[in-house]
Amino acid sequence: MEPRIEILNEKKLVGKRLIMSFANYRIAELWKSFIPRRKEISNNLTNDLISMAVYKPEHFSAFKPAGEFERWATVEVAGFERVPEEMETFVLPGGLYAVFDYKGPNTDNSIFRYILGEWLPNSNYTLDDRPHFEVLGDKYRNDDPDSEEEIWIPIKPKYD
């Protein structure tokens, strides 16, 4: 599976976040707290949901299943003028991304093992220290084998 390489413009996001690890993966809890309230966000730019992870710079080089990171459930907005109570804002910085069009259940993490363990080491890129995210559009179906999403991995040229 080959990604397309895209330059992302900065995005403004509104949503909720939780601190978690892969050993204590609380993503269902995060989305259950966000989905019932997403309609309170009135200035969405699209209907897409954005599932974002903010990792520490050493997260993957010194990987531990208990290593904590922020996971966000968000939508892209035009601005931060009207942020619902108990929600937060995040400015997703622009930059270079490898974008993988993934089809399959969201519980199958083999796509991430392929991206980080096979594609990335054999590419002309290395991970950049920016958020990773998935765009969950109209064809996304939670845990369905026919579900489709975009996986955005922050990259930079290996030989900068």
Average of per-residue pLDDT across 32-60: 95
pLDDT tens for 11-35 read 999 999 999 999 999 999 999 999 9
pLDDT at 160 over 70: no
Residue 88 in tokens: 């937060």
pLDDT > 90: percent of the chain: 85
Buried residues in 40-63 as b, exposed as e (16+ CB within 10 A): ebeeeeeebbbbbbbbeeebeeee
CATH architecture assignment, domain 4-157: Alpha-Beta Barrel (3.20)
Sign, CA dihedral 155-160-69-67, equals positive
- What is the tens place of the pLDDT at every residue in 125-149? 999 999 999 999 999 988 788 999 9
pLDDT tens-digit map of 87-108: 999 999 999 999 999 999 887 8
